[in-house]
């Protein structure tokens, strides 16, 4: 437990959203209903996670005089978090229904990326119940909050990179027993890999 929390301290220290890992660790600490002495040791170890974020805030304060500069810096890109997590997805879906796929894709330079990242985020959410079922509530909760937090942002760009680092999603997919479904996943993944590789080497921004 302590070793896991030490690693999680590094996570929270290097990325503010790393503190989200404290939620599954808390569940892991209490779900087996340990005795008070064991629970106290586990919860004490868990304090290392917010300590990582606190140190990062102090680092920001030393550089800028603002403890929460890591959050306020997003305002330079007109980006904010804390919106309804389905808000941006519904905006894209409404535009697709109203204007059609082709009109939406040419409506702005970032429209194709909004669509791709939105789809990746929705697929990740759709797989989250499988994570709960196959891997347990702790990892399921970690995936859920790690998806809902970036989805609450004012833009969809970047959702893909937040989703694709959530290893429990891939662990859950690996438990699927249907060979036909697994083959379909491999084929679709390969097609997207080819698409994004082509965009990358032709200097298109894919966030």
pLDDT digits (tens, 9 = 90+) for 31-76: 888 888 888 888 888 888 888 888 888 988 999 999 888 878 877 7
Nearest-angstrom CA–CA distance, 81 and 149: 7
Q: What is the pLDDT of residue 34?
A: 84
For residue 117 the two structure tokens come to: 């990242």
pLDDT of residue 12: 64
Residue 115 has pLDDT above 80, yes or no: yes
d(CA 175, CA 10): 30
Determine the longest span between alpha carbons in the chain, in angstroms. Answer: 62
166 vs 156: CA distance, rounded Å:
17
Asked whether residue 163 carries a pLDDT value surpassing 50, the answer given is yes
- Residue count (the chain): 207
Helix (H) / strand (E) element for 114: namely helix 111-135
Q: Is the pLDDT of residue 142 over 70?
A: yes
pLDDT bin (cut points 50, 70, 90) of residue 5 is very low
Mean pLDDT of 177-191: 90
**Phi, psi (5° rounding) for residue 188?**
-65, -40
Answer yes or no: are the C-beta atoms of 60 and 68 closer than 8 Å. Answer: yes
Supply the pLDDT for residue 50.
Answer: 85
């Amino acid at each position: 437990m302590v070793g896991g929390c030490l690693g999680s301290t590094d996570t929270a220290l290097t990325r503010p959203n790393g503190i989200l890992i404290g939620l599954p660790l808390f569940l892991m600490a209490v779900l087996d209903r340990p005795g008070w002495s064991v629970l106290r040791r586990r919860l004490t170890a868990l304090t290392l996670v917010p300590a990582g974020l606190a140190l990062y805030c102090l680092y920001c304060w030393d550089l800028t005089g603002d403890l929460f500069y890591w959050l306020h810096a997003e305002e330079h890109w007109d980006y904010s978090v804390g919106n309804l997590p389905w808000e941006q997805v519904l905006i894209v879906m409404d535009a697709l229904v109203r204007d059609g796929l082709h009109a939406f894709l040419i409506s702005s330079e970032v429209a194709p990326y909004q669509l791709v990242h939105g789809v990746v985020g929705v697929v990740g959410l759709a797989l989250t119940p499988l994570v709960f079922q196959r891997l347990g509530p702790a990892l399921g909760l970690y995936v859920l909050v790690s998806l809902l937090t970036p989805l609450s942002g004012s833009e969809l760009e970047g959702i893909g990179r937040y989703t694709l680092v959530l290893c429990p999603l891939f662990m859950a997919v690996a438990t699927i027993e249907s060979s036909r479904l697994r083959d379909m996943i491999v084929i679709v993944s390969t097609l997207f890999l080819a698409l994004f590789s082509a965009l990358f080497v032709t200097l298109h921004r894919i966030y």
